[in-house]
Amino acid sequence: MKIAEKKALKRESIIQAALQLFATNGFHRTTIPDIAIKLQMSVGNLYNYFSSKDILAQEIIRYTSEVLGEKIREVNDTDASAQEKIKQIVTVYFTMAKEKPEMIEYFLRVYLSNREVFSDGCEGMVCVSGFITEIMVFFDENVSSGELRNQDFFSAFGLFMGYLGGMVFLKGEEVLPKEIEYYIEDISRNIYNALKA
């Protein structure tokens, strides 16, 4: 394995470990030494990868946004109907919430709650553009095909993502009486009904 590849893998493992710690213990209560210990690496070496905790936090949001964006892109690239694609996107989102809860938790509990950490370098949609771009592509293509109603971007985006975020939040609070997959069908239909042409 080349050195560059090795480094990339190491970098990703730092992100994964930090993601878990931030999501479970909170951003402020997690320190760089905590992360180093979990990875069995030296603090000094970790700093070679990320020069500060804030930068690490920003990289994580970029990383999760790209992972999620990549999955939605796969949905966008299929020939499915808008209704079917909505269901697939909901499934992607809920599956991730279930299998990698730390990612969504991180987004909701760290990224949205500690805006000061992200104010310099992650303004607005800069660090989540991997994900936002795919949602834009989804909207654009399906309005263009006549399946979704043309409207303001944020009124559609808020309805779609606010809904999903809210459900994952309720899951995290353990107030959902059923497994999250149970809701995919209904939620997808609700979103489709709200957005369809």
Decide: is 160 part of the binding site for other proteins (CB under 8 A): no
Is residue 44 a contact residue for other proteins (CB under 8 A)? no
Instruction: Check residue 161 for interaction with other proteins (CB under 8 A).
Output: no
Encoding tokens for residue 192?
């489709």
Which residue lies nearer to other proteins by CB, 5 or 116? 116
133 forms part of the interface with other proteins (CB under 8 A): yes
Enumerate residues 6+ apart whose C-beta is below 8 A from 149.
143, 195, 196, 197
Buried/exposed 26-43: b ≥16 CB within 10 Å, e otherwise: ebeebeeebbbebbebee
Cα four-point dihedral sign 43, 47, 53, 56: negative
Q: Given candidates 126, 159, 161, 176, which one binds other proteins under the rule CB under 8 A?
A: 126
Stretch that binds other proteins, among 25-33, 53-61, 119-127, 162-170 (CB under 8 A): 119-127
Q: Whose Cβ is closer to other proteins: residue 48's or residue 144's? A: 144
CB of 137 to other proteins, least distance (A): 6
Concatenated DSSP letters of 101-113? HHHHHIIIIIITT
What's the CA gap between 166 and 191, in Å, rounded?
Answer: 13
Considering only 17, 96, 148, 168, the residue that binds other proteins (CB under 8 A) is 148
> Would you tell me which residues interact with other proteins (CB under 8 A)?
123-126, 128-130, 132-133, 136-137, 139-141, 143-144, 148, 150-154, 156
